[in-house]
Amino acid sequence: MARAALALAALASVAFANPVPDLSLPPLIPYISGISELLYQVVPPTPILQAPLPPIPAAKIPSSNLKPKKVGYFWTGSADQRYADFLATYSLDDDTFGEFIHLTEVPSSGNSPHHLGPSLDGKTIVGGGLLSLLKTQDTAFYFDTTDPYRPTFKKSNRAVLSSIADEIRAKPDGGFFITYMGSTVGTSPGRLVETDKDFNIIAEHPQDLASTINILGETFAPHGLSIDWDANLILTSDFVVPVTILKPSAGIIHANTLRLWNLEKRSIIRTLTIPNGGGIQDVKFIPGNKESAAIATAVHLGQVWIIYPFRTDKDGKQGTIELLYDLGEKARDTIAIYSDLTQDGRFAYFTLTTANHIAALDISDLDNVKRLDDPNVTQPTIGPHYLKVSPDQKHLVVTDYFVQTGEIGIINTPADFKALYIDIEDNGALNFNRTIDFTDFYKTRGGAKPHSVVIYDFTDPEKPIYY
Looking at residue 338, its pLDDT comes to 98
- Does residue 126 sit within a domain? yes
Domain hosting residue 450, numbered range: 45-466
How far apart are alpha carbons 296 and 235 in whole angstroms?
A: 10
- Does residue 11 sit within a domain? no
Average pLDDT, the chain: 92
Q: What is the pLDDT of residues 215-256, one digit of tens each?
A: 999 999 999 999 999 999 999 999 999 999 999 888 999 999
pLDDT exceeds cutoff 70 at 383: yes
How far apart are alpha carbons 31 and 55 in whole angstroms?
A: 7
- Does residue 9 sit within a domain? no
Contact by Cβ (8 Å): 102, 151: yes
Q: What is the pLDDT of residues 93-125, one digit of tens each?
A: 999 999 999 999 999 999 999 999 999 999 999
Neighbours of 229 (CB within 10 A): 12
The Cα-based distances of 51 to 63, 207, 408 in angstroms read: 32, 33, 13
pLDDT exceeds cutoff 50 at 20: no
Mean pLDDT across the stretch 148-164? Answer: 96
Q: What is the CATH number of the domain that holds 354?
A: 2.130.10.10
Question: Any bridge partners for residue 326, and if so which?
Answer: 303
pLDDT exceeds cutoff 60 at 35: no
- Does residue 27 sit within a domain? no
Looking at residue 286, its pLDDT comes to 98
Mean pLDDT across the stretch 176-181? Answer: 98
How far apart are alpha carbons 364 and 293 in whole angstroms?
A: 12
Mean pLDDT across the stretch 2-27? Answer: 43
Contact by Cβ (8 Å): 73, 89: yes
pTM: 0.92
How far apart are alpha carbons 360 and 373 in whole angstroms?
A: 6
Residue 460's Cβ-count burial label (10 Å; 0-12, 13-18, 19+) is: exposed
How far apart are alpha carbons 395 and 107 in whole angstroms?
A: 33
Looking at residue 21, its pLDDT comes to 41
Mean pLDDT across the stretch 455-464? Answer: 96
Number of domains making up the chain:
1
- Does residue 430 sit within a domain? yes
Confidence band for 51, pLDDT divided at 50, 70 and 90? confident
Confidence band for 32, pLDDT divided at 50, 70 and 90? low
- Does residue 17 sit within a domain? no
The SS3 assignment for 9 reads helix
Contact by Cβ (8 Å): 116, 168: yes
pLDDT exceeds cutoff 50 at 1: no
CA neighbours closer than 13 Å in the CB half-sphere of residue 416: 13
Per-residue three-class SS string for 268-322: EEEEEECCCCCCEEEEEECCCCCCCCEEEEECCCCEEEEEEEEEECCCCCEEEEE
- Does residue 376 sit within a domain? yes
